[in-house]
Amino acid sequence: MRIIRLLFPIISLYLASCVEFKSRSLSADGSSSAFANRSLTDSGLDGFLVKQKSGRGAWNLDRLALVGAYFQGDVAVARAEAEQAAAGIQTAGQMPNPVLSFSPGYNSSSKGISPWIMSPTLDVTIETAGKRGQRLASARAKAEAAQLRVAAAAWDTRSKIRKAMLELYAAGENTMLLQAEVALHEAAVGKLQAQVTVGESPGFELTQERLGLSRAMLALHDAEKLAATSQAQLASAVGVSSAALSAVTLDFSAFKSLPSTPGTGTRRRALTHRADLLAALADYAAADADLRLEIAKQYPDIHLNPGYEFDQGDDKWHLGFGVELPILNQNRGPIAEAEAKRKTAGAKFEAKQQAVFGEIETALASYRAGNAKVATAAKLADEAAHASDTTGRMVEAGELAPLDLTRRRIEASAAKLSLLEARIQRHPH
């Protein structure tokens, strides 16, 4: 009875401190409905934007990137994984629970004394060699890597949004230029038709002009198709439906001017401060801590076994001592595995850094070539515009026919399209 009176409050306290399971339902229909109802006026999104110091304002690249960080599934997965890794810190820091053993006995030959023998025993583990500290170091490094991957996922989302916005902007600009060019081709066809009718121009020129009109119309259809698909791709990158994105006015001001020349420290910052690189470095730190932990496991933990025995009316106390004997293995296998994992983590970091270096070299080469192309396209556009203006004055003076001015304007329009293409390619993708 004394033992029961001792154990009862311990068991009651344990049961009272247990965490209860909380149900959270998940269904395909509910998730689909929630996605369809997403809006850029969502109250939760508004709060998130305010926290990021981007309250109400234009729906430009920076603001849409924050919306993507809030809604996008890849970022949500990275955020959930970061929370999971952070919870691992608590697990790593926990001390081993003592183990209570209870083995009652019965003495059938006892006379006049209680035949029951009660012998509860505790097993208390004392960790040695700093194992708990190494577990915590590994868990913290893994949590840091997971948190950095949230930033990397958000940046990747921003890159996808930027690419889709750039394509949507280019499609819109192309559409406007091509609409003007189609109108010019139609005017040229009309003028040539009149000249062919009266015998002033050969039918071959009319056929050529009609082919030019057909090409311009097909290009216009392609631009309109690209605008529609880019709108859908942008909505997907942001994490909302196309209808939700269509409800706001987008700000393309970030693409109307060319990006500035990268500074001299850009390459070094990219090779040392990118979130995905820092995450790989944190993975290496975690692998290093795991190796230290496996090395520490060579040294056995100590087990204290205090116990009590009620033997037919007598109270008996004892203190046991236990330790694992590392005679069959010295944890060499797990140590070798951990060492190999650390080597793998180091190789992954170096490979990632090498890939980033290659990306930088490619981007800089594209940047320099893009500058040259933009300069050439701008010069040709200026020359075409000047030729169009000169032709206009000559038409007013009666020196040239109106058809010549229409043709110069078509050439100027084509030059504008080439310049737009060069400027779009000049933007990083």
Asked if residue 34 belongs to a domain, the reply is: no
- Spatial contact of 240 and 71, defined as CB atoms under 8 Å apart: yes
Of the candidates 63, 89, 188, the residue with the CA atom closest to the CA atom of residue 147: 89
Looking at residue 368, its pLDDT comes to 85
Looking at residue 141, its pLDDT comes to 97
Specify which residues 321 forms β-bridges with: 304
Looking at residue 103, its pLDDT comes to 79
Query: Which amino acid does the sequence have at 216?
Result: A
Asked if residue 24 belongs to a domain, the reply is: no
* DSSP state, residue 327: T
Q: How far apart are the first and last CA of the chain?
A: 77
Helix, strand, coil distribution of the chain in percent, nearest 5: 70, 10, 20
Q: In whole angstroms, how far apart are CA 417 and each of 169, 176, 184?
A: 13, 10, 14
Element (H, E) at 121: strand 120-126
- Spatial contact of 238 and 245, defined as CB atoms under 8 Å apart: yes
Of the candidates 176, 104, 141, 118, the residue with the CA atom closest to the CA atom of residue 2: 118
Give the sign of the dihedral formed by CA 344, CA 342, CA 76, CA 277.
Answer: negative
Element (H, E) at 168: helix 131-197
| Pairing relationship of beta strands 105-106 and 314-323 according to DSSP bridges | unpaired
Asked if residue 37 belongs to a domain, the reply is: no
Task: Provide the domain count of the chain.
Answer: 1
Asked if residue 354 belongs to a domain, the reply is: yes
Q: Which domain holds residue 180?
A: 75-426
Asked if residue 67 belongs to a domain, the reply is: no
Asked if residue 17 belongs to a domain, the reply is: no
Looking at residue 128, its pLDDT comes to 92
Find the CATH number of the domain harbouring 147.
1.20.1600.10
Residue showing tokens 């996922």 = 153
Q: Read off the tokens for 347.
A: 């190789």
Question: Residue 47 and residue 413: Cα distance in Å, rounded?
Answer: 46
Asked if residue 32 belongs to a domain, the reply is: no
Of the candidates 145, 158, 159, 363, the residue with the CA atom closest to the CA atom of residue 275: 145
Whole-model pTM? 0.83
The pLDDT averaged over each successive group of 10 residues in the chain (429 residues) is 60 70 85 88 89 82 93 94 96 91 77 75 91 95 96 95 94 94 91 81 82 93 93 93 90 86 76 91 96 94 87 78 87 94 96 92 86 92 93 88 89 93 85
Asked if residue 294 belongs to a domain, the reply is: yes
- Spatial contact of 231 and 242, defined as CB atoms under 8 Å apart: yes
